Chain A
Amino acid sequence: MHKVLYFSDEALLAGIRNEEESALAYLYKHHYPMILHFVQNNNGTEDEAKDIYQEAVIVFYEKIRDQSLELNCQIKTYLYSICRRLWLKRLALKNRFAGMVTDSDSFIPVEEELAEIEEKEAKFKKMGEALVLLGEPCKTLIEDFYIQDLSMQSITEKFGYTNADNTKNQKYKCLMRLKKLFFSLYKAEISSS
């Protein structure tokens, strides 16, 4: 793949939809400095800038991938708006909030996105916790099957089960346990927030 020096916004969107690594890398590198500058000008560190930025890129990426994004502005404006909103939230939590941020760019309202972002964030976090609580061998079994998409055959071999049906039963048991763990953690999180 030849190296492309410049992606237009449309090219970037197309590249991301096609899961092209180069598009993602370009997107990431191109927009980070602006966010770093913004966060540092508003009482933030480099690490915080990186966190906020990655959150925003993930949000953007996922929305492109499941085609739920209606982009009416430039990509950089969208990313800036998300980062700005996330940073405001962080500042409020840190009690370091003076009431206003110094903007370095124009932004769009993203309140609706914020609710969605928070919900997804909660799900992600709780699933991670549930998997940890699941323990072995369930965790690896579930991950292999549902995330890695490994075949029944290879899993049976890997785990040393006698046959596929056995594996299926194990998988069922693990999944039920995960379901219970996840729902209880998630409901606790929802009700406490």
Chain B
Amino acid sequence: MRKLETYHWIEKYLTGQLTGEELNNFELRLKTDPALAEQLQQYQDVTGTLQFYGQRKTLQQKLNTIHAQSFEPQPKKVITPFGNKEKRKIFWNQHYATIAVAASVAILTVFGTLISIDLWRSMGKQQAARYSALRREVEQIKNSQRAISKAITGSEANTTPKVEYDPGNFSGTGFAISADGYLVTSYHVVSGADSVFIQNSAGQQYKVKNIYRDQAHDLAILKIADESFSGFGTLPYGIKSNESDLGERVYTLGFPREDMVFGEGSLSSRTGFEGDTTSYQISIPVNPGNSGGPLLDNQGNLIGVISGKQLDLQGAAFAVKSAYLKQLVEQLSQDSLEAPIKLAKSNQLAGASRTRQLKKLQDYVFVIKVYNN
């Protein structure tokens, strides 16, 4: 019963019932006997917790009473026709933020989509308008040509034109790239054409057939298919493979109107419309009808093919780089032709004055007349 006795002592000690010598003895024992100290501690813990438990329990009951007196509980479930009101309320409180965000996103998306569709459509139209292909309606010219031919036939001229002098529906410019009659022009000049004729400033006119069309680079290769053609001889210009430099002085020959027109300017940029790396931007004043014409550098090397004019930029025009022309010809020669195209190579123009260069060049630049039957 040792433990029981100890426990009695502990109780007495804690309730202050020990005095004098008994007290001193007990305190001494506490200091020297760790087991006793532990027992004491545990006793205190348990009884302390018990009291704490009791007090808290009482307090809880008090609070519940106060609550019941002052705050009548709402009827817990208000059953409306739509179901449990309390639950609905919680649900709404929980989710209204999310619902609000979802609704806003939905509305924004709908309007955003409608607006952007509208924008996109108008953009497309704009683009087409901005980068206009250089083609020329010749309705007025048709009329004037008819008038002239009437005058000519009426006066019995010596040289009778071989074919009816019909200028066709569209025209652009093209030029020779090989001695045996291959020419290059812009894709958009001859796309959709049923028949194509060419004529240079000396009045030589030939029928050509379409060999190949490269829409991506806006190039078309033609070949003269006419019995009266007997070859160009060695062409006086070569086709450059490398890129030309910014600021290079460049010039073109073309047919924006019935007579050949010379234009010159500079290489304004080594990229074309909206950063197109396959074209140059040039500052030559060009007009509808120049499309497909040659772009030459100061030495008379062919460096590009005139392609399009950006209407809203003053003085900006574009030309497809000659490197792509060469690439196209090489591929063609490998893939589809019986005999490869022998491109013009030798340069007989370097060092010559501009007027001399033009005299040599002009026979190889043609107006392209396109007929849609």
Interface residues of A (CB under 8 A from B): 21, 24-25, 28-29, 32, 40-46, 50, 54, 57-58, 61-62, 96, 98, 120, 123-124, 127-128, 131, 142-143, 146-148, 168-169, 172, 175, 178-179, 182-183
For A173, the closest partner residue in chain B by CB is: B4
Complex: A54 Cα to B63 Cα, angstroms: 7
- The DSSP consensus for interface residues of chain A is helix
Per a CB cutoff under 8 Å, which of B49, B60, B67 touches A58? Answer: B60
Q: Are B62 and A175 in contact (CB under 8 A)?
A: no
Most buried by A among B59, B66, B86: B66
The 10 closest A-B pairs by CB, nearest first: A147-B54, A127-B53, A146-B50, A179-B46, A29-B70, A28-B66, A43-B94, A25-B66, A54-B63, A127-B49
Given contacts A58-B60, A143-B54, contact A50 B67 (CB under 8 A): yes
Inter-subunit contact A182/B52 (CB<8 Å): no
Decide if B25 is an interface residue (CB 8 Å cutoff). Answer: no
**Contact: B93 with A40, CB < 8 Å?**
yes
A to B CB contacts below 8 Å, 28 in the list: A21-B62, A25-B70, A28-B70, A29-B66, A29-B70, A32-B67, A32-B70, A41-B93, A44-B90, A54-B60, A54-B63, A58-B56, A58-B59, A58-B63, A98-B97, A123-B49, A124-B53, A124-B56, A127-B53, A131-B53, A146-B50, A146-B51, A147-B50, A147-B51, A169-B4, A172-B4, A179-B42, A179-B43
Instruction: Report the bound CA distance from A43 to B66 in whole Å.
Output: 25
* B73 within 8 Å of A (CB atoms): yes
Asked if B7 is at the interface (CB within 8 A of a chain A CB), the reply is: yes
User: B63's contact among A57, A96, A148, A178, by CB below 8 Å, is which?
Assistant: A57
Residue count of chain B within 8 Å CB distance of chain A: 31
Contacts of B86 in A (CB 8 A): 45
A28-B66, A28-B70, A96-B94 given; name 7 further pairs at CB < 8 Å.
A29-B70, A32-B67, A58-B60, A123-B49, A124-B52, A127-B53, A146-B47
Q: Chain A nearest CB: distance from B185 CB in Å?
A: 68
B162 on interface, CB distance cutoff 8 Å = no
B56→A62 contact, CB < 8 A = yes
How far apart are the CA atoms of A128 and B53 in the complex, in Å? 7
The CA-CA distance from A178 to B7 in the complex, in Å, is: 14
B78 to chain A, nearest CB (A): 12
Q: In the complex, which residues of chain B have a beta carbon less than 8 angstroms from the beta carbon of A41?
A: 93
- Interface hits, B81-109 → A, CB 8 Å: 86, 90, 93-94, 97
- A28 and B87 alpha carbons, distance in the complex (Å): 27
Nearest-neighbour CB distance to chain B for A124, whole angstroms, equals 6
- Chain A residues contacting B7 (CB-CB under 8 Å) are 172, 175
- The reply to whether B90 and A45 form a contact with Cβ atoms under 8 Å apart is yes
Residues of B within 8 A of A142 (CB): 50
Known: A46-B73, A179-B42, A182-B49. A168 touches B93 (CB 8 A): no
